[in-house]
Amino acid sequence: MFRAGGMSRTAALSMLLAWTASAVPNVTVEPLVDSCASYPNYDDSTGQAGPWSAIADSTDTDVDGFGFVPVYASPVGDGARWGFITIPTKPPAKEVSMRCANGALQAQLDMRSLGIRWQDLVAAGTSNEAAFGFGFPDLPDPNRRLEPYAHVDLNGVRQPGVFVGSENVTTWGFNYQNNKEAGEYYFLRLLTPGSENPATGRPLNDGEFTGFIKIRD
């Protein structure tokens, strides 16, 4: 178990928003072939796709179209780093570079003792955590592999883009954080079955809003 940090927005308004701001459009999630070939810019000779970045999509908030940045947590035993892939509250000057290699979504990260390297991205922790990040120290909880998905509208028309998720879920909850080191940002958690807030039984945390992770192509 890890804690992704305390909720900071407690205003009644945020609670109201959590219940009304379900901006995710009415689409069907369809798994693409679980292979790097399903991502944009696939190179048959290397078996890799990318590099590209990813954006927040369909949140119906200011962060739509913003890229992702890493927020590193304190190093663990061997000095390696772990942390979260987050959306800042302002468009980032530099978005984290991503690719698909060995069938895994990866980000280029400064892993300190391990150097700058491509690190697998996961949705880590119990069903109500499932946080978007990397290098998590050994957890008793599952680390969900991330896979490529398509979105299909009610008329059966595929929507542009490749979306990131797991277990046929591509809807993520965006949770506001504000701390001294990393500033203001949203960490993401995958809203799989069992992701309800354990304290309230509600689908979303206070102030949490929903959206997708879309590969920028």
Ligand X SMILES: *[C@@H]1O[C@H](CO)[C@@H](O)[C@H](O)[C@H]1NC(C)=O
Q: Does 154 bind ligand X (CB under 6 A)?
A: yes
Region binding ligand X by CB under 6 A among candidate stretches 23-31, 47-55, 97-105, 117-125: 23-31
State how far the Cα of 4 lies from the Cα of 1, in Å rounded to an integer.
Answer: 10
Interacting residues of 164 by C-beta distance below 8 A, sequence separation 6+? 54, 105, 146, 147, 148, 149, 170, 212, 213, 214, 215
Q: Least distance in Å: CB of 144 to ligand X?
A: 10
Residues in the interface with ligand X (CB under 6 A) total 6
The residue (of 37 and 152) whose beta carbon lies closer to ligand X is 152
d(CA 109, CA 55): 17
Residue 113 as a binder of ligand X (CB under 6 A): the answer is no
Under the binding rule (CB under 6 A), the answer on residue 60 touching ligand X is: no
The C-alpha atoms of residue 19 and residue 15 are separated, in whole angstroms, by 7
Q: Which is nearer to ligand X, 110 or 153 (CB)?
A: 153
Which residue, among 57, 32, 90, has the nearest Cα to 188 in the 3D structure?
57
Q: Pick the closer one to ligand X by CB: 81 or 151.
A: 151
Q: Does 33 contact ligand X by CB under 6 A? A: no
Residues near 144 by beta carbon (within 8 Å), at least 6 away in sequence: 122, 123, 124, 130, 166, 167, 190, 192
CB 65 → ligand X: shortest distance, Å?
A: 23
Judged by CB under 6 A, does residue 168 bind ligand X?
yes
Chain residues binding ligand X by CB under 6 A are 26, 30-31, 154, 167-168
